[in-house]
Amino acid sequence: MNQTKYYYNEDTCRYEVVVPSKRKRFFRAFFYLIGASVVASASLLAVFNYYPTPKEISLDAERHLLDQKWAYLDIQEKNIKNALSAMQVDDEDLREILELDSLSNDVREAGIGGSEIIDDESSENLIFRDQVVDQYKKIAKLKAQLSVQNLSFDTLSKYAEARDWTWSHIPAIQPVSHKDLDHLSTVYGMRMNPVLHRMMPHKGFDFMADKGTPIYATADGKVILARMTFGGFGNQILIDHGNGYETRYAHLQRANPFAVKEGDVVKRGQLIGYMGSTGRSAGTHLHYEVLKNGKQVNPIGYFQMELNPEAYDKMLELAKKNVSPMD
């Protein structure tokens, strides 16, 4: 509240009101306005500091949303990279085992097409929209590479299944257990027939053991013959393994020779019959043949790789005796 100032006028002997000059009134008004402006500015700053504007609230919410998306994308990218790297290492190992070529970098570096997520992000009014969109593109590329890797695994799985089927249907073990084996004739080709006493081709191996010794299928397949036959083989079994492979097991025993019948599907190592000496035979043994596309091939390459060292040594020992074929 302004206070009125007085002074004593000696001429009139009275107290009169002091009237300030125009200069003083100007400066008084000026400083008053300056002071009022400072107070107003300080008040506004205080209000803005404690009470953000709607624009600031919107920007803060936008930045918070962006931070969340960025953190999520960063974690997702790292997880995908780690998973993809591990899968690619496994993929290369499997391809080496299966003897397949490695995937080229051009195939692994898969490209990407459009993305609804990218389109949606592009339409948002984010300050760092370009960075977010770029991150989404990186992740989309990683996902495309992951799809390529999954497709590769599917291919490897199918190839492995096919290889497994092929391997299981190729003769790869001996038809007679080593513990039962007494002698082995690996004579393959022309030899003196012990029954007819003349030179004739011998197209298989002869395994000698006691009568009734178990005989096993040397690969998965289907029994296409299991009966007494004429022409020298006596009771015999013929198994079709597919892929052009067949195996023959001849001279089985006379009584109860078969453990399978025609049409049966058998597995490698399954009991199929018992050793004997039917047909044109000079003694108890199993005549074993491997046929490829209808022609006999030397069986030596179709079981020795499956032998353990002890069994392999025994096979060599028996083969060194050079026992003559029994048929």
Cβ–Cβ < 8 Å for 187, 302: no
Cβ–Cβ < 8 Å for 300, 188: yes
Find residue 220's DSSP bridge partners. none
CB atoms within 10 A of CB 325: 22
Q: Which residue from 326, 289, 314, 317 is spatially nearest to 177, judged by alpha carbons?
A: 314
Amino acid in the structure at residue 123? S
CB atoms within 10 A of CB 66: 17
pLDDT at 311 over 50: yes
CA–CA distance, 21 with 156 (Å, rounded to integer): 103
Whole-prediction pTM: 0.58
CA–CA distance, 260 with 286 (Å, rounded to integer): 16
Note the residue count of the chain.
327
| 3-state SS class at 108 | helix
Architecture of domain 178-320: Distorted Sandwich (2.70)
Helical segments of the chain, H only: 22-50, 54-97, 105-108, 116-123, 129-168, 309-320
pLDDT at 77 over 90: no
Q: Which residue has the higher pLDDT, 112 or 14?
A: 14
Find residue 198's DSSP bridge partners. none
β-strand 221-228 against 199-202: which pairing, if any? unpaired
For 22-73, how does the pLDDT look when each residue is reduced to its tens digit (9 = 90+)? Answer: 777 766 777 777 777 777 777 667 666 666 677 777 777 877 887 787 778 7
Q: Which residue from 177, 186, 206 is spatially nearest to 285, judged by alpha carbons?
A: 206
Q: Which residue has the higher pLDDT, 103 or 46?
A: 103
For 248-272, how does the pLDDT look when each residue is reduced to its tens digit (9 = 90+)? Answer: 999 999 999 999 999 999 999 999 9
pLDDT at residue 165, rounded to an integer: 83
Boundaries of every domain in the chain: 6-50, 54-168, 178-320
* Mean pLDDT calculated for residue range 287-291: 94
pLDDT at 326 over 80: no
For 220-235, how does the pLDDT look when each residue is reduced to its tens digit (9 = 90+)? Answer: 999 999 999 987 899 9
Mean pLDDT of the chain: 79
**Token representation of residue 315:** 């096979």
β-strand 286-292 against 295-297: which pairing, if any? antiparallel
Q: Which residue from 253, 268, 255, 175 is spatially nearest to 210, judged by alpha carbons?
A: 253
Cβ–Cβ < 8 Å for 75, 116: no
**Share above pLDDT 70 across residues of the chain, in percent, rounded to a whole number:** 75
CA–CA distance, 109 with 104 (Å, rounded to integer): 9
pLDDT at residue 46, rounded to an integer: 66
For 109-129, how does the pLDDT look when each residue is reduced to its tens digit (9 = 90+)? Answer: 765 444 445 555 444 555 566
pLDDT at residue 257, rounded to an integer: 95
For 136-186, how does the pLDDT look when each residue is reduced to its tens digit (9 = 90+)? Answer: 777 778 878 888 888 888 888 888 887 788 888 999 888 998 888 888 887
pLDDT at residue 171, rounded to an integer: 92
pLDDT at residue 158, rounded to an integer: 83
Cβ–Cβ < 8 Å for 297, 203: no
pLDDT at residue 295, rounded to an integer: 93
Q: What are phi and psi of 228, to 5 degrees?
A: -70, 135
Range with the largest mean pLDDT of 11-15, 95-99, 278-282 = 278-282
pLDDT at residue 315, rounded to an integer: 61
